[in-house]
Amino acid sequence: MVKLVSVLGTTPGGIYETFINLSQGKYEAENPTPVKVDEVYVIRTNNEAVTFAWKLVKAIFACCGSKEIIIADIPLPMDDINSADDFKRFRKEVGSRINVGDYVDFTGGRKAMSVAAALEGLHKRAHIVTTVVSPDEYTRVNNLLKPLKAKERDVEEAGQGKCDQLKEVCDLISKNSRTILFF
């Protein structure tokens, strides 16, 4: 069973983009082949904006074509990494979810979180990936996020598969993302 272990920040589309690009074999590597990801683990802080992004991740998977995949929410009891102890705790929590051969996506989250995830992934002999979009595309997605904050109830319902009221959630996915496999 292969997991995609992703760090979430405030932009939700990156996790889905990484999942789709891996699943379709559309990533930069020596010999890219489709990867069957069985589960997606979303590691995040309990920051309010990140919690909202988690609700959007659920809505994206439910409404944009991958509702059959298992998505696990792993909120950590911290707002951010503010000390060496926080870094160690975050890295330990991420590491407890990674097995040899899993994929660790360090796209989201703050720099220290991404570094912790990548280091732990290397330590556990997992594959290390990230997904990138252009600055213009990042701005486009962020502009779409603002009005969605006023529709939090619709976002929560979309996360349960009730997508009729929130068709725009799929616009949070970049059509031009590039996933890169480093190891």
Predicted TM-score (pTM) of the model is: 0.92
What are the tens digits of pLDDT across the range 33-55?
Answer: 999 999 999 999 999 999 999 99
Confidence of residue 164 (pLDDT cuts 50, 70, 90): confident
Query: Helical H runs in the chain?
Result: 13-23, 48-63, 84-95, 111-123, 135-148, 152-158
Cα atoms in the Cβ-side hemisphere of radius 13 Å centred on 181: 22
The CATH code of the domain at 3-181 is 3.40.50
Contacts 24+ apart (CB under 8 A), 145-151: 145/10, 145/11, 145/56, 145/172, 148/56, 149/52
Q: How far, in Å, are 46, 84, 118, 136, 147 from residue 40 at the CA level? A: 18, 27, 16, 27, 27
CB 123 within 8 A of CB 95: yes
Pairing, β 127-132 against β 27-28: unpaired
- pLDDT value of residue 165: 85
Mean pLDDT score, 142-164? 91
- pLDDT value of residue 72: 95
Query: Which strands, in side-by-side order, build the sheet including 3-7?
Result: 27-28, 178-181, 127-132, 103-105, 3-7, 39-44, 70-75
- pLDDT value of residue 167: 84
Q: Does residue 116 have a pLDDT over 80?
A: yes
67 vs 160: CA distance, rounded Å: 9
Pick from 61-70, 86-95, 154-163: least confident: 61-70
Q: Count CB neighbours of 53 within 10 A.
A: 23
Confidence of residue 66 (pLDDT cuts 50, 70, 90): confident
